[in-house]
Structure 1
Amino acid sequence: MIKLNEVCFKYRNSKDISLDNINIEIKKGEFILICGSSGSGKTSITRLINKLIPYYYEGDLNGDVKINDKSLSDYQMFELSKNVGSVFQNPRTQFFNVDTNSEIVFGLENQGVETKILEEKLDETCKKLEINKLKNRNIFHLSGGEKQKIAFASVYATNPDIYLLDEPSSNLDIPTIDILKKHLSMLKESGKTVIISEHRIYYIMDLVDRIIYMKNGKIDKIFSNKDFLSLSEDEIKTMGLRTRNKPSLNIKEKSPIIGKSYLQVNNVSIYRKDKCLTDRLSFSANKGDIIAVLGSNGIGKTTFLRTLCGLYTDYKGEFILKSKEIDEKARKQISYMVMQDVNYQLFADSVFAECKLGIKNVKDDLINELLNDFDLYNYKNSHPNTLSGGQKQRLAIVCGLLCNKEIFILDEPTSGLDYKNMIKTVELLKSHSKDKIIFIATHDFEFASLICNRVLDLEKNKIYV
């Protein structure tokens, strides 16, 4: 059904070959996992199959890609879109509408489907995917996980034969990942071809037929499900892959801090329009604390973090630092936030220039040291937009560490991170935590269990250890 024959590709303005002599044949109805370290070429393979390479992502392409024995170069884009549906790593980049209803049926509308059928398809899709509560919503008001659900729904509504999903679990909470797995299982049972590029692999281990392991732009090995599951956990880690087992987080209620604390949050209630997202939240923290901020998709984790660093102002309550109340302006001065979508905060024309942007008196040696620690040194002269999703994420963390603020906030920082870089991120954040308080909004229990000494559960308004 899908055949890639001796495919090589190098992105424009990139010095490295992204795909090197790729040969794959995928049969109709197969469920394929593409895995490997950040920047290994996983996303590039999906871009080949949906024709974004080379027509959107330009560069030098050699070799041939065929679907149903027909070369992709012979497909019109409207024709291909009926056969191939894509869910991008960053769902925001595939939205064309401001409301969820229009977005879900956008593909069908472009195929000329009648209005009455569009309405039926909308209802059918939302019911089947259990997202009725997301109907008639402003896309810009959705959480990252909710946006991911809408992106998947917009593809599901068109009923393609081939599904391409690039890290579909990256912004989802654990219960929603379970729901995603149920939907993927449904696709497999109905004979759809599913190709997933993913770092969090545990939830699809009993669904995949084959695993394509990428390394430095090449296919290093192709495993059957049985052979992949027979690998030891140490072998999996050596390959730079995340755990195959469902991660858990063991927490218990935290005793109150005795004596003075560096930061106090007193009876903070946060609102969005008439809705109370966080109700009279109170807790204390000291320098050295690394606090996981947990809660389901849409509960208000990002809004709480934006309030904490002074970017969101619709709240009541107090933020106290060193026994003095601090307003939004003061909190902005002592905080740095790595956003969930780091594309919003990368502005310079090179990685090295990005590290110096807006940061006073930062030494080049320190920049080079951190870039080396995060495996970004060889990209110091590259444009940030040429980096993979995981590399951009690491660059944003480097910039945050260079700013050296007292409150360091990270919103879903493990999106795009392989095992090796997740461990490096854990080690480096821990080594820089002595003089700051770190807040991490995450659904990634594997990461949280390795780095966080406390947990703030926004579902229960409680802090745990």
Structure 2
Amino acid sequence: MIRMDNVSFTYAGVDRPSVTGIDLEIPSGQTVLLCGRSGCGKTTVTRLVNGLAPHFHDGELSGSVSVAGIDVAATPLYGLAGTVGSVFQNPRSQFFNVDTTSELAFGPENLGRSRTDIEAAVGSVADELDLHRLLGRSIFQLSGGEKQRIACGSVAALRPPVIVLDEPTSNLDFAGIALLRRCLEHWKAAGRTVVVAEHRLHFLTGLADRAIVLENGRIADDIAGDDFFSRPPAWFRARGLRQPSLAKLDWHDSSATVPVQESLGLSGLRYRYRGSKQLALDVDGRGLPGGVICVIGENGAGKTTLARTLCGLDRRGHGTVEFRGRQLTRRRRLRETALVMQDVDRQLFTESVLDEVVLSMTDGSSKYLDGAAAGDVEGRALGLLATLDLADCRDRHPLSLSGGQKQRLAIASALAAGRQLVVFDEPTSGLDYDHMKTMAAEIRRLHDDHGVTSVVVTHDPEFIAACGTYVLHVDGGRIVDDYPMDDDGRRRLTAHFAAAS
């Protein structure tokens, strides 16, 4: 079904190839996992299959790629639409409508199918992915995870024989991942060929027929699925891969991060979407310790709304936020907090990676970087880029980076501002194991060395295990549970994710 013969691809304006000498055959009906460190070439392989490289992403292609006997490079994208369906890392980049039902119908409409067939396709995919409660809603009012589920549904409605997914779980909670797995199981049972590029591996246990590990643009390992998932934890760590089992998490010593008591106070926080009678956020009377506060909960529970309200981004948000004894008005929160958004493309503004970090250092007040003179803004920015493994990308355009690299750059920019309260919305989406651990260590260091309190919205139990000191469980816009990451907290957190999956 998919064949690559000695394929290499170099993006326009980039000095080195993204993939080199790829020889790959995937038979019809096989489910294949592509994994490896960020920037290893996973996304490029998916783009070669669906034709985005070289038809949309310009570059130099050598070798041949064929899908269902079709020469991808010689076939226009519209000629591949009925053969290959794609789910991207950022679902917003593939939407064409403002409401969910129209989005599900969009693909079949463009293939000229009858109204009866279109309605049947929408109804069928709603059943498969449990999307009925999302039908008829505005795209703009969906959470990141809900958008990803609609993106999966829009592709499934086309019924293509080949489906490629690039980090489809990046913004999904465990319940959403379980629903995605059910969809993948349905596609596999129907004989479709599925290629999944992923960092999060657990949901593919027992499902992937095969795992292909990429390193520096080359195939390093091609392993049967059962063999891959039975490998020991050290094998995954050595290759920068996430652990496929919650039972094998590496817990850090949270007691080493001494919390500041009553560092963050929340009182009367309220938020209501325009035209809605129901509160999307309703938090009152909470005093939280400093450290690394991890916010968990299902998609649509109000986690991102809480994050945006903490930062003062929504004018319709009301209530009081106290930080270390000082009451912060909405305007003051805008000045004194930093936010790393879930959709990082929305906060990358400059023409180079280095300029992006320097932009956040305009007052020269960043205090957490070591080893550079106080006035050497560029030197301090380069130090931060080196910490996050981005120094080699200093002159690249931010939007030319991989998804994981963009995420690290957005985090670098937020940290460069030197704020004492930093809010992260899904900071590890698109990050491999090594960069996730680096990010966790950096966030811990911000508190331990400089007293920064971080509030982290996350679905990532490995990340919480690596740096979390306190957990907030949000549901229906309310905080329904909170606890420190002591032994009892670890058991409660593990039970939460196990139940959700």
Mapped contact 2:128–2:182 kept (Cα < 8 A): no
Q: Deviations over 1:351-398 (max 9, x none)?
A: 111110142226223222221111111111111111100011011111
Q: Deviations over 1:211-260 (max 9, x none)?
A: 1100011111211123323422101100000001146999xxxxxxx997
Deviation (angstroms), 1:96: 0.8
Map of 1:268 onto structure 2: 269
What amino acid does structure 1 have at the position aligned with 2:53? I
Q: Is the 8 A contact 1:40 1:216 kept in 2?
A: yes
State the match for 1:254 in structure 2.
none
Q: Take 2:325 and 2:228, find their aligned partners in 1: how far apart are those partners?
A: 55
> TM-score, normalized by length of structure 2?
0.88
Deviations 1:332-361 (A, max 9, x none): 111000000111111111111111014222
Code of the residue aligned with 1:450 in structure 2: it is: A
* Aligned partner of residue 325 in structure 1, secondary structure: strand
Question: What does residue 42 of structure 2 align with?
Answer: 42
Which residue, out of 374, 377, 394, partners 1:380?
394
What's the counterpart of residue 59 of structure 1?
A: 59
Match of 1:319 in 2: 321
Question: Which residue of 440, 447, 452 corresponds with 1:436?
Answer: 452
**Could you give the per-residue CA deviations for residues 81-127 of structure 1, whole angstroms, max 9, x where no partner exists?**
11110000101101111111111111100001122332232222212
> What secondary structure, in the 3-state scheme, does the structure 1 residue paired with 2:63 have?
strand
After TM superposition, list the pairs within 5 Å mapping 1:79-118 onto structure 2: 79-118=79-118
Structure 1 CA distance, aligned partners of 2:204 and 2:404? 21
- Give the alignment partner of residue 422 of structure 1, picking from 430, 433, 436: 436
Q: Which residue of 2 aligns with 1:163?
A: 163
After TM superposition, where is structure 1 displaced by more than 6 Å over at least 4 residues in a row?
247-250
- Measured in 1, the distance between the counterparts of 2:120 and 2:69 equals 34
Q: 1-side partners of 2:131 and 2:247: how far apart?
A: 25
> How far apart are the structure 2 equivalents of 1:28 and 1:294?
39
> What's 1:450 paired with?
466
Task: Report the Cα offset of residue 437 of structure 1.
Answer: 1.2
For residue 98 of structure 2, what is the amino acid of its counterpart?
A: V
Call closer, same or farther: CA 1:281–1:227 in 2, change over 3 Å.
Answer: same
Q: How far apart are the structure 1 equivalents of 2:230 and 2:140?
A: 44
1:463 to 482, 486, 498: 482
Moved more, 261-270 or 340-349: 261-270
Runs of 5+ unmatched residues, structure 1: 251-257
Q: Is the 8 A contact 1:278 1:458 kept in 2?
A: no
Looking at structure 1, the residues matched to 248 and 343 of structure 2 have their Cα atoms a distance apart, in angstroms, of: 25
Q: What is the match of residue 146 of structure 2?
A: 146
1:295 equivalent in structure 2: 297
CA deviations 1:401-424 (Å, max 9, x no partner) are 111111101100111100011111
Does the 8 Å contact 2:338/2:422 carry over to 1?
Answer: yes
The answer on whether the counterparts of 1:336 and 1:407 sit within 8 Å (CA) in structure 2 is yes
| 178-187 or 156-165: bigger deviation | 178-187
Q: Distance in 2 between matches of 1:358 and 1:175?
A: 36
Quick check: 2:129–2:182 contact (8 Å CA) kept in 1? Answer: no
* Contact 2:360–2:413 (Cα < 8 Å) also in 1: no
Task: Confirm or deny: 8 A CA contact 2:425 2:457 kept in the other structure.
Answer: yes
Counterpart AA for 2:129: L
Question: Secondary structure of 1:432's partner?
Answer: helix
Change (3 A) 1:27 1:181: same
Deviation at 1:321, TM superposition (A): 2.9
**Could you state the TM-score of these two structures normalised by the residue count of structure 1?**
0.95
Number of the residue aligned with 2:78: 78
Trace 1:341-352 onto structure 2 (pairs within 5 A). Answer: 341-352=343-354
CA-CA distance at 1:290 after TM superposition: 0.6
CA displacement 1:403-459 (0-9 Å, x = unmatched): 111110110011110001111111111001242210110111111122111111112
Q: Deviations over 1:253-279 (max 9, x none)?
A: xxxxx9973321013222223221222
Distance 2:40 2:260 in 1: 49
The 8 Å contact of residues 337 and 409 in structure 1, kept in 2 or not, is answered as yes
2:407 matches 1:405? no
- Give the secondary-structure state (helix, strand or coil) at the position aligned to 1:455: strand
1:304 match: 306
1:197-208 matches, cutoff 5 A: 197-208=197-208
* Structure 2 contact 266–284 (Cα < 8 Å) conserved: yes
* Kept after mapping to 2: 8 A contact 1:283/1:463: no
> In the aligned structure 1, how far is the partner of 2:481 from the partner of 2:89?
32
Q: Return 5+ residue gaps in structure 2 as ranges.
A: 252-258, 367-376, 485-501
Structure 1 CA distance for aligned equivalents of residues 22 and 16 of structure 2: 15
Provide the C-alpha distance between the structure 1 equivalents of 2:68 and 2:399, rounded to a whole number of angstroms: 33
| Alignment correspondent of 1:253 | none
Larger deviation, residues 109-118 vs 345-354: 109-118
Alpha carbons 1:248, 1:445 under 8 Å: kept: no
Distance in structure 2 (CA, Å) of the matches to 1:300 and 1:182: 25
Q: Verify the 8 A CA contact 2:55 2:77 in the aligned structure 1.
A: no
Shift of 1:129: 1.5
Alignment of 1:234-249 (within 5 A): 234-246=234-246
Stretch of structure 1 that moved more, 125-134 or 224-233: 224-233
Aligned length: 458
- How far apart, in 2, do the equivalents of 1:353 and 1:76 lie? 37
AA of the residue aligned to 2:277 = D
Cα distance in 2 for partners of 1:264, 1:439 equals: 13
1:121 and 1:65 map into 2 onto residues whose CA distance is 30
In 2: Cα distance, 1:18 partner to 1:405 partner: 36
The range that moved more, 131-140 or 318-327, is: 318-327
Whether contact under 8 Å (2:85, 2:155) holds in the other structure is: yes
- Residues 1:319 and 1:48: Cα distance change in structure 2 (over 3 Å): same
Give secondary structure in 2 for the equivalent of 1:433.
helix
Most deviating of 31-40 and 218-227 = 218-227
Worse-superposed segment, 273-282 or 27-36: 273-282
For the aligned residue pairs, the C-alpha RMSD in angstroms reads 1.9
CA distance in 2, matches of 1:436, 1:386: 31
Identity %: 37
Question: 2 CA distance for matches of 1:152 and 1:235?
Answer: 31
